[in-house]
């Protein structure tokens, strides 16, 4: 599986948010999208999963190429069943228990027999360390627990790639670790992931690829080792300097 985006553009009114972005994610990649706030990272992920309609650009997914500005609804539905999305603010279904959050898509969208769906869902919850909380509603769970349920929901259907939009940004600092640990485990198992993140340690140690964005363009794409050791662009260096200064406190 290869996901390739070419020349994606998106404006909100007069504000051009994506100014021709390219990216490529290969099977087994953990690609981190870094960049200052407002640079268009969320918009990029949302366009890739059709939560926003891009103005132009193409996507190649597993050998098939699509025009992002005129996607037939059927293709959108088909592609979404092969991907998964983890939101910054979890977006668990508030009227469903943890278990139902995971099984809902399997039963309703994929028409999987209920018992099989529940088996898979229990295993997914177990994997993210949420065994025993199956019957809790989202409001009865901490942010970190909710996000882990959201990850269970994402992996349950066996996606070929998972998109993460700042999965730990809404969490209190002491809760980010449990979510990052789950993501690290997925990475080790070979899951293909495209992750917008502000967690430099995650980008440095878990991801193999860094895509640095600023002002709606990709400034630099490198292996993560190279990006942190020897960034090629002045703007990447400036970004890393501010990040490091912030980390020093």
Partner 1 sequence: MINEHLAAILADSFWKILLPGLTVTIPLTVIAFSLAMVIAVTAALIQFARVKILRHLCRFYIWVFRGTPLLVQLFVVFYGMPRIGIVIEPFPAAVIVFSINEGAYCAEIIRAALESVPPGQLEAGYCVGMSYLQTMRRIILPQAMRTAFPSLSNSLIAMVKDTSLAANITVVEMFRAAELINARVYEPLALYIEVGLIYLMFSTVLTKLQSMGEKRLNVYTNREE
Ligand X SMILES: Nc1ncnc2c1ncn2[C@@H]1O[C@H](COP(=O)(O)OP(=O)(O)O)[C@@H](O)[C@H]1O
User: Residues with Cβ < 8 Å from 158, sequence gap 6 or more?
Assistant: none
14 is an interface residue for ligand X by CB under 6 A: no
Question: Of 12-20, 34-42, 137-145, 180-188, which segment contacts Mg ion by CB under 5 A?
Answer: 34-42
Q: Of 248, 222, 216, whose CA–CA distance to 18 is shortest?
A: 216
Among 80, 133, 204, 235, the residue binding partner 1 under the rule CB under 8 A is: 80
42 is an interface residue for ligand X by CB under 6 A: yes
Among 40, 57, 105, 167, the residue binding ligand X under the rule CB under 6 A is: 40
Among 108, 226, 238, 246, the residue binding partner 1 under the rule CB under 8 A is: 108
53 is an interface residue for partner 1 by CB under 8 A: no
Residues 140 and 97: their CA atoms lie apart, in Å, by: 10
Among 30, 31, 35, 42, the residue binding Mg ion under the rule CB under 5 A is: 42
93 is an interface residue for partner 1 by CB under 8 A: yes
Q: Of 77, 69, 136, whose CA–CA distance to 102 is shortest?
A: 136
Residues 169 and 197: their CA atoms lie apart, in Å, by: 8
Q: Which is nearer to ligand X, 19 or 136 (CB)?
A: 19
Residues 231 and 78: their CA atoms lie apart, in Å, by: 38
Query: Where in 147-166 is the site for partner 1 (CB under 8 A)?
Result: 153, 157
Residues 153 and 168: their CA atoms lie apart, in Å, by: 16
Residues 196 and 165: their CA atoms lie apart, in Å, by: 5
Q: What are residue 58's DSSP bridge partners? A: 6, 67
- List of residues contacting partner 1 (CB under 8 A): 49-51, 77, 80-81, 83-85, 87, 89, 91-96, 104-105, 108-110, 137, 139-140, 153, 157
- List of residues contacting ligand X (CB under 6 A): 12, 15, 17, 35, 37-43
């Amino acid at each position: 599986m290869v996901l390739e985006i070419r020349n994606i553009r998106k404006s909100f009114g007069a504000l051009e948010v994506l100014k021709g972005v390219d990216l490529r994610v290969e099977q087994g990649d953990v690609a981190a999208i870094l960049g200052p706030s407002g640079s268009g990272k969320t918009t990029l992920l949302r366009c890739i999963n059709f939560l926003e309609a891009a103005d132009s650009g193409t996507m190649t997914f597993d050998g098939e190429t699509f025009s992002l500005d005129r996607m037939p609804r059927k293709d959108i539905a088909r592609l979404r069943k092969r991907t998964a999305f983890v939101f910054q603010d979890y977006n668990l279904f508030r009227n469903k228990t943890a278990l139902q959050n995971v099984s809902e898509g399997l039963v309703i969208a994929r028409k999987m027999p209920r018992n099989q769906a529940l088996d898979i869902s229990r295993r997914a919850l177990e994997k993210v360390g949420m065994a025993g909380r199956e019957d809790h509603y989202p409001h009865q769970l901490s942010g970190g627990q909710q996000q882990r349920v959201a990850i269970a929901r994402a992996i349950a259907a066996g996606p070929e790639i998972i998109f993460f939009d700042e999965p730990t940004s809404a969490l209190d600092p002491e809760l980010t670790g449990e979510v990052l640990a789950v993501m690290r485990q997925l990475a080790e198992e070979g899951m293909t992931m495209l992750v917008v993140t502000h967690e430099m340690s995650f980008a440095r140690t878990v991801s193999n690829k860094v895509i640095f964005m600023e002002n709606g363009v990709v400034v630099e794409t490198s292996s993560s080792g190279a990006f942190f050791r020897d960034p090629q662009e002045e703007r990447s260096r400036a970004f890393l300097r501010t990040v490091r200064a912030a980390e020093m406190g």
